Chain A
Amino acid sequence: MLFNVGYLILVAALILSAFGVVAGFAGGQQRNQRLVQSSFHAVYAVAGLVGIAAVMLWYGLLTDQFQLTYVWNHSERALPNFYKFSALWGGQAGSLLFWSLLLSLYSVALALLKRRQHQVLMPYVNGVMLATSLFFLILLVFAANPFKQSAFIPADGQGLNPLLQNYWMVIHPVMLYLGYVGLAVPFAFAVGALISKRVGNEWVRTVRRWTLIPWMFLSAGILMGSQWAYMELGWGGYWAWDPVENASFLPWLTGTAFLHSIIIQEQRGIMKVWNVVLIWLTYFLVILGTFTTRSGVLESVHSFALSDVGPLFLGFMIIIVFGFLWLLFKRLYLLKDEQTIDSYSSREAAFLGNNWLFTSITFATLWGTFFPMFSEILTGERISVAAPFFNKVNGPLFLLLFLLMGIGPLLGWRRTGMESLRRQFAWPLVAGVVMGVATIFFSPNPWPSVGLAVCAFATMTIVQEFVRGVMARRTTNNENVLVAMVSLMRRNGRRYGGYIVHLGMVMIAVAIIGNEFFQQTTNVTLTPGTKVELGGYELTYVGLENNRASNRTEVGARVIVHNSSGKMVGSLLPLRNLYDKTPDMPTSEVGLRMTLLEDVYVLLNGWESGGSTATFTIFINPLTIWMWIGGLVLVLGTLIASWPHPVKRTTNVPAGAAVAAAGD
């Protein structure tokens, strides 16, 4: 029937991608134009086939084709259409298909945009992208068939996991996958560069945008996951260092290091080995992360159900590790530094330190995530490694990293003289010290004050850079402040967009410090009309409000919030969703009032019938909104940094002349 054809389409895509891999690598090696062209065609064909397969599965979901096991497992008649659509990535097989879809879309975009450039690299790039597609198609065809059918047609499905039935859980995987999948592109270029021996700036310059955009999606995806955890899980926090969370975080760490490190290679021709290793690690961690969430290797509240994909992933990881290492060792002699680092007080040295810190954090996080597995195999004892470990180990490292983030822009290329150092560091240091002293008594713990001081330091660095830039433009071009700022970001988007991203990161750090160290909380049981006081607010419980939706009952408790001067500032309705199909898996909606200063956060724990009493957990979370604001700023900065800007040059510059552009 129709869905049997769907399976055959996946098989066809598998065969074509295998062919494309061979065509790409062989064609690149032999400079055989026909083979190279075939690899492009394979990319287009695989994308088309995977697209059709995805549309088929969507059709099955949206028209309630419960003979499809996947549809039966993850959908039901009463499920709103929005969630029927998103159920495509709600389960193992469907999400693998979605992965493949996004991967082929990236491959097609890459092929279309680059088909006339990088003639030497592109065949290999196609090859690597298709090899990744091939792996996922192998998973789909042999271990996780989305088109598996049962002999009979069930009347209704089992419904989508209640935790997935909200907006954040729909958008978060999409963002995350766009990030994950996109990071295969720079890796593909790295492999191409190594194989073809063109390890200079060609590949580094090309991948900058193709890394920035996936990085942006990955950052957004991680933040959205945190937002979901904050608003749905109801424990007042947003990150638990759960293995699946860490799985998304690890490639982000190495990817960020890579983004910074390639700047150095572009400018000074050093750190080439760092760069290929960092992007290889990123790709490996992406595959490892995908493996971790699906294989049951680590227990997590997030993971998909156990399936047979594990061994296939292991095989692919072995190929990634040993294949790449073999290639690296063969080409190592080409990756020698063209220059040296001239002094410790140079931007190059700061970026080297950046790489060191990021890889240390990656290693520590990876170690902590997998330690329970090592411990269980070697000693038989089940150790739990949760937030206390990661906070103690990663906390100081992130502090150092933010310090470096502030220091980096203050240092010059090659070396920074004493006079320059004094000038550059003056204001940021003052800002840091002032903030530190001002906040030292906010908490018995010195750490929040230190953290805020470092944030102030980094912020002042960024502000100083903008001020200098604007002042420079005003003296040369006589523009007003606003126009100057816009021009800065247009002409030097890389640099100033990057600073804005850093600003976003500082905001996120401030939110973390606020939530981690200054949170207030209480647990109360209230009768209608009674109130509780917390953090200067008065919260009065009014009564229960029930609502019936298509596949669930929503039980809400109305809580009115007054501030310390008696003014009503919010009417919150924390909910419990009781789903028809899974009554023992209720989900929560937190009643939330966000201001720039703090969040009032109310969770409904339980109630007596009729609402005669209701039990709440209430949090006052300072500064938490800055995490979401910081995320938006981060995305804005990335867009500025990656925006393609028009070039005004019309004259032909003779070959060999060093072209000096302003700023960088």
Chain B
Amino acid sequence: MTDMTEPLSVPLPDTLAEAAPASRAVLIWRAIFILIPLVFIVFLALRLGTAKSEHRAEGLAPVLEFTTFEGETINLDNLRGQGVMVNFWASWCDPCREEAALLESTWRREKDRGIIFLGLDYLDQEPAAKAYLAEYDITYPNGPDLRSQVARRYGIQGVPETFFIDPEGKIVDIIVGPITSQAQMDGYLDKIRPKEK
């Protein structure tokens, strides 16, 4: 019985038995065993950190380029000097419908006053999206956010989300959820109007 032989082959005290220096293989293994969990825990910590703060874009608006349903390419850089409202929506999103009419009517009022409305269609399909646009008679530029590139850059957590960008390209307001009051909408728009010469 192995236990029986243990007292006979009692391990030597630490100082004697550990005399042999750790071989290179052992050192490499130690490094691996320490580094891998360490890196893993660091990643977990990072992830925890970002999970708390919803990391929506802030400051200078990220790159925004897309092609509308009509085939026109729109790039945010070309819109410097105008106030831009970027609205993320989807045809399957019920809250989006609550603000659709308001957005369109406001657009018709504002369209020649240095304000641009852009609609990004998130995780959607073209027929359903076009039907949605036809239903609310939406005339401002809308296009599919292919591969959710724009959504990712702007860090949205869902739809609808609306970003108000001033003429210098800075994000001034981020509204999560539908905008249902004209007064609120006007308030946000006033902050991004180009300065009168």
Contacts and interface: CB of A to CB of B under 8 A. Distances in A.
Direct contact of A and B (CB under 8 A): yes
A26 interface: no
Interface string A277-321: 000000010000001000111000000001000110010011001
Contacts of B43: 370, 373-374, 377
Instruction: Name the residue among B2, B40, B43, B152 with the largest chain A CB count within 10 angstroms.
Output: B2
Given A197-B11, A200-B2, A334-B11, A377 B47 contact: yes
Secondary structure of the B contact surface, majority rule = helix
Interface stretch (A89-97, A101-109, A516-524, A651-659): A651-659
Contacts of A334: 11, 17
B41 A656 contact: no
A198 interface: yes
Contacts of B26: 332
A17 B6 CA distance: 33
A404 to B, nearest CB: 25
Contacts of B50: 377
Nearest to B45: A314
A566 to B, nearest CB: 44
A381 B51 CA distance: 15
Contacts of A310: 48, 51
A329 interface: yes
Contact of A201 (B2, B30, B46, B51): B2
Interface in B1-59: 1-4, 6, 11, 17-18, 20, 26, 30, 33-34, 37-38, 40-41, 43-48, 50-51
Contact of B3 (A201, A380, A381): A201
A310 B52 CA distance: 10
A24 to B, nearest CB: 22
27 contacts: A197-B11, A200-B3, A201-B2, A284-B37, A295-B51, A296-B51, A306-B51, A310-B51, A311-B48, A314-B41, A314-B44, A314-B45, A317-B44, A321-B37, A321-B41, A322-B34, A332-B26, A333-B20, A334-B17, A373-B43, A374-B43, A376-B47, A377-B43, A380-B152, A382-B152, A658-B1, A659-B1
A337 interface: no
Interface in B120-172: 152
Nearest to B153: A380
Given A200-B6, A380-B152, A329 B48 contact: no
Nearest to A363: B36
Contacts of A321: 37-38, 41
Nearest to A277: B33
A201 B9 CA distance: 14
Interface string B48-90: 1011000000000000000000000000000000000000000
Range, interface on chain A: 35 or more
A438 interface: no
A161 B30 CA distance: 46
Given A297-B48, A332-B26, A655 B2 contact: no
Contact of B41 (A200, A306, A318, A377): A318
Contacts of A306: 51
A269 interface: yes
Instruction: Name the residue among B4, B30, B37 with the largest chain A CB count within 10 angstroms.
Output: B37
Contact of A325 (B2, B4, B33): B33
A334 B37 CA distance: 24
A190 to B, nearest CB: 16
Given A202-B3, A269-B2, A659-B1, A373 B34 contact: no
A118 to B, nearest CB: 11
Interface residues of B, number: 26
B6 A377 contact: no
Contacts of B20: 333
Nearest to A265: B2
A306 B53 CA distance: 12
A377 B46 contact: yes
Contacts of B46: 377
B18 A333 contact: yes
Contact of A373 (B3, B4, B18, B47): B47
Given A297-B48, A334-B11, A317 B3 contact: no
Given A269-B2, A333-B17, A382-B152, A297 B44 contact: yes
Contacts of B18: 333
Nearest to B12: A333
Contact of A198 (B1, B6, B45): B6
A634 B50 CA distance: 42
Interface string A373-415: 1101100111000000000000000000000000000000000
Across the A-B interface, the 9 shortest Cβ-Cβ residue pairs:
A321-B37, A310-B48, A201-B2, A297-B47, A333-B17, A200-B6, A296-B51, A373-B47, A334-B11
A269 B26 CA distance: 20
B35 to A, nearest CB: 11
Contacts of B3: 200-202
Contacts of A333: 11, 17-18, 20
B30 A329 contact: yes
A335 to B, nearest CB: 10
B140 to A, nearest CB: 28
Nearest to A266: B2
B126 to A, nearest CB: 22
Contacts of A269: 2
Instruction: Name the residue among B26, B33, B44, B48 with the largest chain A CB count within 10 angstroms.
Output: B44
B159 to A, nearest CB: 16
Interface in A328-379: 329, 332-334, 338, 370, 373-374, 376-377
Contacts of B45: 311, 314
Interface string A598-628: 0000000000000000000000000000000
A656 B48 contact: no
Contacts of B34: 322, 325
A333 B12 CA distance: 10
Contacts of A318: 41
Contacts of B152: 380-382
Given A201-B2, A201-B3, 18 more contacts: A200-B3, A201-B1, A269-B2, A291-B44, A296-B51, A306-B51, A311-B48, A321-B37, A322-B34, A325-B33, A325-B37, A332-B26, A333-B11, A333-B20, A338-B2, A370-B43, A377-B43, A377-B47
